[in-house]
Amino acid sequence: MKNIETEYKWAISCKADFTKLKAALNAKKAAVKSIIVQISDTYFDSPVGALSAKKAALRLRRTATKTAKTYELTLKSSSQIINGLAQREETTIPLKAAARPAALAQFMAQAHKLDKDTKNLKRIFSIYDNREIFFISADGFTAELSFDKCLIKSGKHAKLLEAEMEFKKGDKTAFKAFAAYLSKTSGLKPPVKSKVATARALLKNK
C-alpha cells in the first residue's frame, strides 16, 4: 500500500525526556492505550548503494508482540524534514510468513517489482527497537506516539533513544498543532539525525 508518511520526531537524551512527553500527553487525555512491541528492522541496498544515493530506504521489518509476529516490506522515498516534521512517500507490503527465511524470500521477490535498483540486494545495517506505542485519538485526527529504545548495528553498534508521532488519519493541521503543543510543553527539540542517518554514519566511519 502506497501512502504519504507524516510524522514528527523528538530527540531524547534520557528516560526523563520520555516522561516529559508522557506528562504532556496525559494532560490532554488523548492516549487511548499503549502496548510494547519488539521491532527488528533490516535495511538492504544494491552493491553500489543505488537506493542510498537517491536517499531511499528498503526495509524488512519484523514486529513481535506477546501473541504474534508479523513481517512487512517497506520502500521509503527521500524525506522532507522541516522543524522535526518529516513527510515522504512510502510503500508497505505485508508478508505472509511465520519465520524469517520465508519472509526474506518474499521480500526479495516483491522488492524487485517496486524499484529497478533493488538488484543483488545485500544487508547494510539493522536496527533493533524496544518500542512503546501510545494510540492517540484527539480532536480531528488519530496518531501513534512511539517511544523508541534502539540498538543500531552496522559494523559498529550504537544506542539511540527517540520519540516519534505518526499521523494516521483525519485533519493534518490538527495533528501538527498537537505536535507543536507536545514540543512546547515538553521542551524537547527535533533530532539532529534520524535512526537511518545514524546507521549510515556508522557505516562510513567503521
pLDDT 10s digits, 100-135: 999 999 999 999 888 888 888 999 999 999 999 999
CATH number assigned to the domain covering 2-205: 2.40.320.10
Strands 85-95 and 156-170: unpaired
Q: Which three cell numbers stand for residue 67?
A: 501473541
pLDDT 10s digits, 11-28: 999 999 999 999 999 898
Q: Which three cell numbers stand for residue 47?
A: 552493491
**Amino acid residing at 116:** K
Res. 205: pLDDT tops 80: no
Res. 206: pLDDT tops 80: no
pTM of the model: 0.91
Question: CA torsion 24→33→132→86, rounded to 10°?
Answer: -60
Backbone φ, ψ for residue 9 (5° rounding): -120, 145
Strands 2-11 and 57-64: unpaired
* pLDDT, averaged across the chain: 91
pLDDT of residue 117: 82
Res. 155: pLDDT tops 90: no
More confident residue, 142 or 66: 142
Res. 204: pLDDT tops 90: no
Cα 51 to Cα 115: distance, rounded to the nearest angstrom: 9
